[in-house]
Amino acid sequence: MRQLFESMKRHASEAGEFVAASDRLGQLSRRDLFTRVMAHAAELKDQPKIVGIYAPNGLHWVIAQLACAVAGKIVVPLPTFFSTTQLGHVVRDASVELILASEQTAAVTAQSGVPMNVIDIHRLGTGLPDMIDGFGQIIYTSGSTGRPKGVCHQSGQIAWSAAALAAATQASASDSYLSVLPLPLLLETICSIFIPASIGAYVHFDTDLADRAGRGDVTGIAKAFEAYRPTTSVLVPQLLKHWIAELQAAGQHAPSSLRFVAVGGAPVPKQVADVAWRWGIPVHEGYGLSECCSVVAVNRPKERRPGTVGQPLNGLQVSIDKGEIVVDGPSITDGYLGQKSAKRPWRTGDLGEMDRDGFVTVHGRKDNVLVTSFGRNVSPEWIETMVLADPRVALCVVTGHGEPHLTSLLIPSAAGAAWFATATRAEVLELLSDLCSEAPEYAVPRAYVITSFEHALKDQLISNGRPVRKNIGRFVLERTAA
């Protein structure tokens, strides 16, 4: 992180008046941001090593994150979309000794019983604190049981990944980034904090939209992009689909300012990406996982190959072993918290292939493969991606391990809610059959269950924006047996 420190210092000195970051509370110039980060870093110098951050997306989080990097702390992001039980587990499991909070989140943080500091975005300091090595981050993934486990990156993985991703996406100081994903997601931390800070680019945090996104509601995404007209951003497929639907409903295109929009976290249906490009959204699919510091491969500007997730970041070695994607290089995790050091190369558990030019295609999780009672193997992500190509479907999860046929859990999109409300069972099954026309008959869902994001979150079917497949399997069995 020493290079980040020197870069921020240089940007503050050479063009300190340029705006570096903003949110609904205001904005900070490069000089203001650097000064406030240094002030908080000096205060953190003698504080405990393991620090949690619990704040909304925005300036509070940016200052806390960068100050911890300068002060050599181990950061534990505390997602506002985690349940109280999950948050308590994270704090205890990671042995968090201090929590940095905003005025907005201080009351909730106080209930943890852990010492707390409120981040003051107006605090000024004198002089520069010594840069302390040792920065790292413990990322908690939701896990299939909903009980998070910590992934440790304490050996320079974040700094390396930020530099590699900045190079791959051709990021520059002339970029303006719009942050709409929750900052506890490591990819968003890298793209909206570390890359802009290192290259001197501008970032705006849409706090309200990010908060809603963490809860499955992204209404107004088209309005946000039109208002701020960024050059770059990062999305998950659900947000992309909603953005397309809003553009189509309004009969308008995405801002012409956009040059690069990365989409990952889940498969992106080729049909959806094609439609996005027609509406002015320059979609570039990528692939990664927390254990590889979020990004393994990404489609580059002017080098995109539709249907793939692009080529590996320069410096990573990616191979396919018996159908499984295997990764080695500087971004590999140190291991899971409390467990042995990670073995390298890292076996991702993802199924995929790589063409002769190095472009990677991902087929789904190895441990998600469903085997029907007739002995047929089906990768659920394969079928889900087909169904998600329809704008009426916001989320699809296919189940049916050990059953004679597959069943799909469907969550209608805002654009499709009316259609599903009046559609007959035969019409829904016909829709599924049409969408899965390229799949063999045994892989086409013959039953379905419809729910909403609100009920899915309440019934713990979704965690961290991703389906909890074990819970969904039980949920679907209960509904279809009733």
pLDDT of residue 447: 95
pLDDT of residue 145: 43
Domain of 237: which CATH number?
3.40.50.12780
The number of C-alpha atoms within 13 Å of 161 and in the hemisphere containing its C-beta is 31
Domain of 470: which CATH number?
3.30.300.30
Q: Provide the domain count of the chain.
A: 2
Tell me if residue 148 falls in helix, strand or coil.
coil
Same-domain status, 287 and 407: no
pLDDT of residue 414: 87
pLDDT of residue 147: 61
Same-domain status, 355 and 386: no
Same-domain status, 468 and 380: yes
Longest dimension (CA), the chain: 71
Same-domain status, 104 and 31: yes
Same-domain status, 268 and 414: no
From first to last of its 482 residues, the chain has per-residue pLDDT tens of: 889 999 999 999 999 999 999 999 999 999 999 999 999 999 999 999 999 999 999 999 999 999 999 999 999 999 877 767 778 889 999 999 999 999 988 888 877 889 999 999 988 876 788 889 999 999 987 544 446 689 999 999 999 999 999 999 999 999 999 999 999 999 999 999 999 999 999 999 999 999 888 777 788 999 999 999 999 999 988 899 999 999 999 999 999 999 999 999 888 889 999 999 999 999 999 999 999 999 999 999 999 999 999 999 999 999 999 999 999 999 999 999 999 999 999 999 999 999 999 999 999 889 999 999 888 989 999 999 999 999 999 999 999 998 999 999 999 998 899 999 999 999 999 999 999 999 999 999 999 999 998 889 888 888 766 788 989 999 998 888 76
Domain end call among 308, 342, 360: 360
Same-domain status, 258 and 382: no
Same-domain status, 304 and 377: no
Same-domain status, 265 and 303: yes
Same-domain status, 347 and 440: no
Domain end call among 360, 385, 417: 360
Domain end call among 328, 360, 392: 360
How do 370-371 and 377-378 pair as beta strands? antiparallel
pLDDT of residue 464: 63
pLDDT of residue 125: 74
* DSSP-derived secondary structure for 318-350: EEEETTEEEEESTT---EETTSPPPPSSEEEEE
Same-domain status, 352 and 393: no
Same-domain status, 329 and 377: no
Same-domain status, 291 and 420: no
Enclosing domain of residue 375: 369-481
Q: How far, in Å, CA of 213 to CA of 224, rounded?
A: 13
Residue 126 exposed, middle or buried by CB count within 10 Å (0-12, 13-18, 19+): exposed
